[in-house]
Amino acid sequence: MTRIVVLISGRGSNMQAIVDAGIAGADVVAVISNRGDAAGLVFARERGIDTRIVDHKQFADRAAFDTALAATIDTFSPDLVVLAGFMRVLTDPFVLRYQGRLLNIHPSLLPAFSGLDTHRRAIEAGVRVHGATVHLVTPRLDAGPIVAQAVVPVLPGDDPAALAARVLREEHRLYPQVVRWFVEGRVAVDERGGVRVRGEGRSEQTMCVPQVDAG
């Protein structure tokens, strides 16, 4: 059984999608939040999943917080740590401790739009496609090896909320899929640092999404 600890900061809808996917061979053993009011904690408790709160405001600096967070995570002996809307920048020692078994989802097609406020920035940049990326976490923020991405069109009239909702629907398909691959032992990092998913079929389809005039 692959033991999974999920870290959240808020709504936790990606965590819910992973739990609801009922991935064979996977057990979400704990959900940990840096905020006591994270809505996702309610869902986890209802599902009988262990929850913990490690409040970053109780610690003097990032290093102290990350040390306490890692200590809490390690009580669950996870094989995989999943960042699902966990809105804290992590220190290098934390990231290195879980390297190779630490996944994150980011709401953009990385390396475009790392950081915050991705949907507004994508609209302002005039990109035609946007989406989400699941990557292995390395010390450089939002820059670890990409496992998979989901693409959505940016449509005329989109505001950040509409675009975020379209991306989020894809996040809920993408993240459970990547976790499933990981659990099945199919995610491998090659010699150049890129991720290969063993046994996944290739697609050479081209996507073309112009901004068309309604009239």
Tell me which residues touch ligand GAR (CB under 6 A). Answer: 8, 10-14, 84-85, 105-107, 132, 168, 171
Which H, E and C letters describe 84-141, residue by residue? CCCCCCCCHHHHHHCCCCEEEEECCCCCCCCCCCHHHHHHHHCCCEEEEEEEECCCCC
CA distance 126 to 175: 26
Catalytic (active-site) positions: 106
Comparing CB distances to ligand GAR, the nearer of 46 and 191 is 46
Comparing CB distances to ligand GAR, the nearer of 125 and 165 is 165
CA distance 174 to 168: 10
- Of all residues in the shown chain, the one whose CB is closest to ligand GAR is 85
* Number of helices and strands in the chain (H, E): 6, 9
Comparing CB distances to ligand GAR, the nearer of 170 and 215 is 170
Nearest in space to 132 (alpha carbons), one of 119, 149, 146: 149
Cβ–Cβ under 8 Å, residues 142 and 134: no
Residue 10, SS3 per DSSP: coil
Q: What's the closest the beta carbon of residue 168 comes to ligand GAR, in angstroms? A: 5
CA distance 108 to 123: 12
Beta-sheet strands, E only, within 2-68: 2-8, 26-33, 50-53
* Chain-centroid distance, C-alpha 162: 20
